[in-house]
């Protein structure tokens, strides 16, 4: 094994090259990226990158680190266009790059609304260039923002828009936003977070046409004929795995690249991050089939794992994980661990009626499989451990009771200390 090639120079790709170098792999390593930018962090792009007066620099590493410490050849600015698994080569522009081990980490592209290409004021948020353009649009003085899609990224942009003082409307096709991601009841609970901050959420609506004058959006027409005037339109309708370059490669493509439990898609070829679809053995008993995640934590984990397997296939072990993601809405945090499948959801702390703070847990097959928290940051990781150990629903309820007592004791201690301070004053 002398040459590792990693295609996709973002989080999973970066973690891939870092992992093998950390392990002492001394062969050649090439990192191929379609974007001109060095690998950068995407979560801030729909949050503080838009909201802060001084945008943070989202790059993970300086350019010198790749040539220096990591000893990685960077091929940026040109997408890989083909893979030949028999010859073990990847085509990048007019170059043919040979590999012994390959990691595919090309992530996903933002979905767009057909017919909106080239209309000014219409944005998606996937890349740094997208975020630069959206930041300027949100801060350009235009008062009305419309977001199509009440998913996590759309919700974050809506939150930033409200924070900047814009009038914000979210248009969602489903009757309950995020029902697929967190279930019906929790989807309703999260919608309160928008409504209580003055963001209008219209559910069960279909966008018929984006109306433009002189090449700039001015309104969205819904299927029932209603027109919603807008200055900026953000399309947050999900992502499509970046598999186009793998057509004809012989890999199994099915909403991602399908891999086995070790993340292997073909001999010597491993997948990582948003593009990877694999059987996550932790959940196959309660949710049959394969899983594809679009979460920062799993992309980072899988990058390292896939690269280690690619340089030493004999060491490949099944990869299983308890999914985790967070999302920042207004000045609060939504966190989710596990999966939202199951037969029962129980609110174990706080109250979901007004959107939180609260914690809810999900049951399937008699065990805990998921947990959602709104503005209770200390909670979900405790349930994540239980889910990872396949612990029972009763264990989860016992933990919930223990946490309730701990919070009550902490609150009583804080109250006592406040009373003592008050008495001294
Ligand atoms: C705006 C935004 C906010 C997010 N916020 C959160 C959050 O709060 N919490 C959370 O858990 N997750 C969040 N995520 C998800 C998280 O960022 C992703 O899961 C993570 O970036 C996935 O990493 P990746 O390396 O698999 O793919 P990507 O980050 O999509 O990177 C893939 C890279 O491959 C490149 N590429 C594509 N095709 C080719 C090709 N043919 N050849 C070469 N290169 C190619 C792309 O240009 C891209 O640079 C967010 C994502 C976005 C977009």
Residue 79 CA, closest ligand 1 atom number? 42
Q: What is the pLDDT of residue 55?
A: 85
On whether both 301 and 398 belong to a single domain, the answer is no
Tell me the best of 18, 41, 42, 238 to mutate to test the pocket of ligand 1, counting ligand atoms within 8 Å of each CB and taking the most. Answer: 42
On whether both 267 and 381 belong to a single domain, the answer is no
Q: What is the pLDDT of residue 425?
A: 82
Residue owning the nearest CA to atom 29 of ligand 1: 10
Residue at which a domain ends, from 251, 280, 315? 315
- Is 203 domain-assigned? yes
Cα(409)–Cα(422) distance, integer angstroms: 20
Taking the centre of ligand 1 as the mean of its atom positions, its distance from the CA of residue 112, in whole angstroms, is: 16
On whether both 12 and 83 belong to a single domain, the answer is yes
Residue at which a domain ends, from 260, 280, 315? 315
Domain that holds residue 117: 112-237
Taking the centre of ligand 1 as the mean of its atom positions, its distance from the CA of residue 279, in whole angstroms, is: 21
On whether both 40 and 123 belong to a single domain, the answer is no
Q: What is the pLDDT of residue 76?
A: 98
1 confidence band (pLDDT: 50, 70, 90): confident
Task: State the total domains in the chain.
Answer: 3
- Per DSSP (E only), the strands in 320-404 are 324-329, 332-338, 344-350, 358-364, 367-374
Tell me the best of 41, 103, 106 to mutate to test the pocket of ligand 1, counting ligand atoms within 8 Å of each CB and taking the most. Answer: 106
Indicate if ligand 1 lies below 6 Å from the C-beta of 126: yes
On whether both 252 and 224 belong to a single domain, the answer is no
On whether both 244 and 105 belong to a single domain, the answer is yes
On whether both 300 and 393 belong to a single domain, the answer is no
Indicate if ligand 1 lies below 6 Å from the C-beta of 7: yes
State the DSSP H helix or E strand holding residue 192, giving kind and residue range, or none if neither. Answer: helix 184-195
Cα(396)–Cα(402) distance, integer angstroms: 10
Cα(117)–Cα(123) distance, integer angstroms: 10
On whether both 206 and 244 belong to a single domain, the answer is no
Indicate if ligand 1 lies below 6 Å from the C-beta of 367: no
The answer for residues whose C-beta is within 8 angstroms of residue 285's C-beta and 6 or more apart is 365
- The predicted model gives 331-351 an average pLDDT of 95
Indicate if ligand 1 lies below 6 Å from the C-beta of 304: no
Q: What is the pLDDT of residue 20?
A: 98
3-class DSSP string for 43-62: HHHHCHHHHCCCCCCCECCC
- Is 412 domain-assigned? yes
- Whole-structure pTM value: 0.96
On whether both 261 and 342 belong to a single domain, the answer is no
- Is 325 domain-assigned? no
- Is 424 domain-assigned? no
The predicted-structure confidence for 347-402, as pLDDT tens digits, reads as follows: 999 999 888 899 999 999 999 999 999 999 999 999 999 999 999 999 999 999 99
- Is 324 domain-assigned? no
The predicted-structure confidence for 164-186, as pLDDT tens digits, reads as follows: 999 999 999 999 999 999 999 99
Q: What is the pLDDT of residue 216?
A: 97
CATH number at residue 220: 3.50.50.60
Q: Worst-scoring range by mean pLDDT, 52-61, 215-224, 385-394?
A: 52-61
- Is 423 domain-assigned? no
On whether both 347 and 307 belong to a single domain, the answer is no
The answer for residues whose C-beta is within 8 angstroms of residue 241's C-beta and 6 or more apart is 106, 107, 108, 255, 256, 257, 274, 275, 292
On whether both 159 and 223 belong to a single domain, the answer is yes
Taking the centre of ligand 1 as the mean of its atom positions, its distance from the CA of residue 425, in whole angstroms, is: 54
- Is 78 domain-assigned? yes
On whether both 195 and 216 belong to a single domain, the answer is yes
Indicate if ligand 1 lies below 6 Å from the C-beta of 106: yes
Rounded to 5 degrees, what angle do the CA atoms 250, 254, 257 make? 60
Nearest to 259 by CA among 243, 273, 271, 246: 271
């Amino acid at each position: 094994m002398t040459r590792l090639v990693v295609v996709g120079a973002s989080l999973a790709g970066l973690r891939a090259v870092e992992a093998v170098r950390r392990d002492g792999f001394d062969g050649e390593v090439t990192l191929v990226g379609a974007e001109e930018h060095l690998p950068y962090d995407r979560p801030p792009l729909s949050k503080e990158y838009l909201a802060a007066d001084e945008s943070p620099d989202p790059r993970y590493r300086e350019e010198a680190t790749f040539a220096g410490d990591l000893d990685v050849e960077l091929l940026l600015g040109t997408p890989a266009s083909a893979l030949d698994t028999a010859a073990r080569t990847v085509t990048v522009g007019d170059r043919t790059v040979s590999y012994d081990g390959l990691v595919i980490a090309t992530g996903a592209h933002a979905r767009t609304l057909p017919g909106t290409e080239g209309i000014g004021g219409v944005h998606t948020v996937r890349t740094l260039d997208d975020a630069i353009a959206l930041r300027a649009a949100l801060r350009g003085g235009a008062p009305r923002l419309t977001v199509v899609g009440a998913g996590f990224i759309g919700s974050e942009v809506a939150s930033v828009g409200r924070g900047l003082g814009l009038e914000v409307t979210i248009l969602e096709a489903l009757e309950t936003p995020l029902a697929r991601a967190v279930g019906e009841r929790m989807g309703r609970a999260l919608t309160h977070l928008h409504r209580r901050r003055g963001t209008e959420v219209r559910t069960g609506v279909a966008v018929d046409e984006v109306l433009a004058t002189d090449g700039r959006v001015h309104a969205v027409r819904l299927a029932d004929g209603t027109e919603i005037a807008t200055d900026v339109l953000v399309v947050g309708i999900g992502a499509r795995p970046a598999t186009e370059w793998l057509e004809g490669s012989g890999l199994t493509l099915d909403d991602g690249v399908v891999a086995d439990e070790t993340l292997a898609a073909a001999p010597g070829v491993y997948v990582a991050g948003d593009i990877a679809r694999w059987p996550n053995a932790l959940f196959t008993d309660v949710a049959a089939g394969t899983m594809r995640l679009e979460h920062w934590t799993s992309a980072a984990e899988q990058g390292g794992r896939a690269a280690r397997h690619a340089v030493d296939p004999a060491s490949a072990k099944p990869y299983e994980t308890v999914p985790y993601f967070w999302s920042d809405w207004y000045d609060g945090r939504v966190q989710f661990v596990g999966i939202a499948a199951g037969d029962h959801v129980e609110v174990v702390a706080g109250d979901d009626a007004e959107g939180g703070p609260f914690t809810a847990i999900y049951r399937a097959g008699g065990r805990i499989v998921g947990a959602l928290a709104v503005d209770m940051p200390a909670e979900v990781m405790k349930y994540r451990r239980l889910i990872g150990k396949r612990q029972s629903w009763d264990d989860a309820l016992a933990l919930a009771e223990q946490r309730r007592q701990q919070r009550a004791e902490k609150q009583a201690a804080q109250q006592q200390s406040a009373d003592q301070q008050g008495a001294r004053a």
